[in-house]
Amino acid sequence: MQSATAFQQLQHYLNSQVIGQEALVRQVLVALLADGHILVEGPPGLAKTRAIKSLADSIEGSFHRVQFTPDLLPADLTGTDIFRPETGEFQFQPGPVFHSLLLADEINRAPAKVQAAMLEAMAERQVTAGRKTYALPKLFLVMATQNPIEQEGTYPLPEAQLDRFLLHLHVDYPDAESELAILRLNRGEAQGVKPQQPEKLSQEDIFSARQAVLDIHMAESIEQYIVRLVMATRQPEKYDDKLKQWLEMGVSPRATIALDRCARASAWLAGRDFVSPEDVQSMAFPVLRHRLLLSYQAQAEGIHPNQIINHILSLVGSA
């Protein structure tokens, strides 16, 4: 319960720092609790960087931001062996990926070799440099961003790498009330006014909270509901002709595991000791939207993955 209170305080603090993006804050905490990585998509200036920096300032762990560019090399990310004349030997110099929280800004601007290095880090929690393999920190979270507006000079992320992201979040503009609060917050910060920051979460608290999330009760009917949602993406012809026309390929078992973990984390953050169908439904969008492979017909019709997920939720009952 002490960990739950600490996370609630952290959520309240992050909401005061990242105004008008409550969903983003909540999903970042869900990813932290479920031990997964996040892909955030939204126009520039919507506090994507601020969210992860505020989180990094609130927990015990190092933070680093990498601006992905077309000329980025794998060694710029993972590190490389450096020759030391005083010893006559090569010594490995760790790169930015060895921090606990890594912000991969505009990740789709990096070429294939960099994406391959990122995939190893995200999937295996390790980095291979030369003939040696180095383990990453036990607490390791990647928050990658994409700009949905400008696509020139970008490289689409491979399906295998997309599948390694626990959540795919869409960030939209705040409303007028939140915009005013942002204006006042910025003015206060310019004048040196800083809100009281809660005590930093220790990594022990985070790992303890992750165990508590796994202990959340999930009824067998909820487990079957998750499986039915997943199967609807793989066997759409059994549910609806429209769904069959929209989907080229369904989601992997990794999506089933992710939906289970995230639904548990959502329930735990809400202060409950059981998972409800609403937890599964709310997490279905960020868990599934980047894993669905849409048909050419769906793309031609301008169908968004959210529409497909909404349709699946209407077809598959939770009872």
Return the CATH number at 280: 1.10.8.80
How do beta strands 101-105 and 247-249 pair?
unpaired
Q: Is 272 found in the same domain as 166?
A: no
Which three-class secondary structure state does DSSP give residue 19?
A: coil
Task: Classify residue 205: in a domain, yes or no.
Answer: no
Q: Is 183 found in the same domain as 82?
A: yes
**Bridge partners for 115 per DSSP:** none
Q: Is 221 found in the same domain as 184?
A: no
DSSP code string of 205-229: HHHHHHHHHHTSB--HHHHHHHHHH
Cα dist. 246→149, 236, 250 in Å? 24, 9, 11
Which three-class secondary structure state does DSSP give residue 248?
A: strand
* pLDDT at residue 245, as a whole number: 93
CATH code of 75's domain:
3.40.50.300
Q: Which domain holds residue 133?
A: 2-189
Task: Classify residue 209: in a domain, yes or no.
Answer: no
* pLDDT at residue 178, as a whole number: 87
Q: Is 93 found in the same domain as 28?
A: yes
* pLDDT at residue 187, as a whole number: 81
Q: Is 171 found in the same domain as 38?
A: yes
CA 13/CA 28 separation, integer angstroms: 13
* pLDDT at residue 151, as a whole number: 61
* pLDDT at residue 54, as a whole number: 87
Give the count of alpha carbons within 13 A of 258, CB side only. 29
Q: Is 249 found in the same domain as 172?
A: no
Q: Is 185 found in the same domain as 225?
A: no
CA 107/CA 99 separation, integer angstroms: 17
Q: Is 221 found in the same domain as 280?
A: yes
CA 112 to chain CA centroid, nearest Å: 21
Task: Classify residue 196: in a domain, yes or no.
Answer: no
Task: Classify residue 280: in a domain, yes or no.
Answer: yes
Q: How many domains does the chain have?
A: 2
Last residue of a domain, one of 189, 205, 226: 189
* pLDDT at residue 152, as a whole number: 59
Q: Is 104 found in the same domain as 174?
A: yes
CA 86/CA 318 separation, integer angstroms: 67
Per-residue pLDDT of the chain (319 residues; tens, 9 = 90+): 467 888 888 999 898 888 888 999 999 999 999 999 999 988 878 888 888 888 888 888 888 999 998 889 988 999 888 888 888 888 888 999 999 999 998 888 888 888 888 888 998 899 888 788 899 999 999 999 887 766 655 777 878 888 899 999 988 888 898 889 888 888 877 776 677 777 888 899 999 999 999 999 999 999 999 999 999 999 999 988 889 999 999 999 999 999 999 999 999 999 999 999 999 999 999 999 999 999 999 999 989 999 999 999 999 976 5
Nearby residues of 276 by Cβ (< 8 Å), 6 or more positions away: 222, 267
| pTM given for the model | 0.89
Q: Is 238 found in the same domain as 120?
A: no
Chain position carrying tokens 């912000």: 103
Q: Is 178 found in the same domain as 263?
A: no
